[in-house]
A and B are shown apart, each in its own frame.
Chain A
Amino acid sequence: MQKYSVFSLIKNAFKGHKDWEVAWKDPTPKSEYDVIIIGGGGHGLATAYYLAKEHNITKVAIIEKGWIGGGNVGRNTTIIRSNYMHDENGLFSEFGMDLWRNMSQDLNFNVMFSPRGIINLAHSDAQMNVYSRRGNSMRLNGIDAVLLNREEVKKIIPMADFSENVRFPIFGGLMQPSAGTARHDAVAWGYARQADSMGVDIIQNCEVTGFDVSNGKILGIRTSKGDIKAKKIGLCVAGSTNILAEKLNMTLPIETHLLQACVSEPIKPILDNVVTFGAGHFYCSQSDKGEMVMGGDLDGYNSYAQRGNLPTLQHVLTEGIAMFPFLSKLKMLRTWGGIMDMSMDGSPIIDKTHIEGLYLNCGWCYGGFKATPASGWTFAHTIAQDRPHELNAGYNLNRFSTGHLIDEKGLGTKTWIS
């Protein structure tokens, strides 16, 4: 594989950029693989990469209905963080933070990881207490957390509304300085290019139409490009999980909901952190191009539409303007929507299933992008070793019937409630 560097860039510039190798091939599917990963999004591509890199399993195919990186990895707000209270989420995400920090070097692809810090704003004394508890829990797990008072927050984001008579005054905030953002498409492309170079077949425009299951064992899949055999198959299809589960006669603790995001017109640099509103659900950062990147609540009812509804967007941006009044002066550039696999406790599932050889990776709710490397790494381990790694042991499928839920937000089963 051609190595990307400043020297290769200069060399190819002199040749008019005509000699670059293709980043990944477009193979026709073979009749059999060791492992098939369904879903060519961030998690699927990362899983294939770590199967090859960590477990030396290279006879792998990624089956993608559309094009790689066309789903949620291309539709998110690029936020990366590990500011969780529960051990399962905190340790898992912090393991992922280490992978993020080295990702550009590891993949030889600039994913533009920018650890600019995230601030969760607090708007009451009670919320400050909750944040202090969460911050302490994070620090016990080795995650950086700083509790900021009102003056400290004002120094970092003076453009927020610090006036006296506001409905939700800023009392302070919880900051994770090592959190940040990354270039989302580059993550998909970087994993795809490396996986391809190690022998993984990336098969796009290929829809999975059915599964071949016999005596409780998975034997292969049926696709729009023919039948493909494999002893191990991993599902990594986010919002489409229930559609494939139905073909397997499985019912899962997952509902598919729609989440919107939007960007404003580009403006001069004003915000160099990620900031979240604490009295609702709104988060904001500024891209390198200068756009304000914003998101918030789900549309609030089951949806596979991949496009949003205006009442929700209006509601979310009202919160944004309450936090950053200057946003009201900006024009909206683009809005978009993606479909989320909302699990019933708000935490993901990375586990084996009752079908031998079938592995499940789903339930990422709002937080799939930041989990991309850790999800791929642990899912690859789960598939290769046929048992979960200790990092994803808590993300098992039977926790719902045993009651070992990981309910970070305390929302219960109605995770769509805003």
Chain B
Amino acid sequence: MLYIKCPHCGLRPQTEFSYGGDATVKRPELNKEISDQDWDNFVYLRKSPRGKHLELWQHISGCRQWIKVERDTLTHEIFTTLKANENI
């Protein structure tokens, strides 16, 4: 069981959260010419590192806020958790 410290609610078990994937991908800006490659990068391409990974989780059975979690994908150690609009 992972224990994730929600920045709004405190330490809660993983079963209260749902996973939202890599938090580092950036959606191309609106109203700008976007190449196929830009879309490809945003929609499909993922680094999926072994080690530190900044990812989105939603506290779906709690405050329902999206949060950012920095977690090790090999050891599952959680280093920091942030509100969705915060950056490391």
Contacts and interface: CB of A to CB of B under 8 A. Distances in A.
Interface stretch (B26-34, B59-67, B68-76, B79-87): B68-76
Contacts of B36: 401-402
B73 A256 contact: yes
Interface in A236-257: 242-243, 246, 251-256
5 contacts: A253-B44, A301-B71, A303-B76, A309-B1, A311-B13
A251 B45 contact: yes
Interface string B6-45: 0000000111000101100000000000001101110111
A366 to B, nearest CB: 17
Contact of A305 (B41, B44, B74): B74
Nearest to A414: B21
Interface residues of B, number: 28
Given A243-B50, A311-B1, A304 B73 contact: yes
Nearest to B57: A301
A401 B21 CA distance: 20
List the 4 closest pairs (A to B, CB-CB), nearest first.
Answer: A253-B44, A401-B40, A242-B48, A400-B44
Contacts of B37: 401
A344 B45 CA distance: 8
Interface residues of A, number: 25
B48 to A, nearest CB: 4
B53 A302 contact: yes
A243 B51 CA distance: 10
Given A255-B48, A401-B37, A401-B39, A305 B1 contact: no
A300 interface: yes
Given A246-B47, A303-B74, 4 more contacts: A252-B45, A255-B22, A256-B50, A300-B19
Contacts of A113: none
A267 interface: no
B40 to A, nearest CB: 4
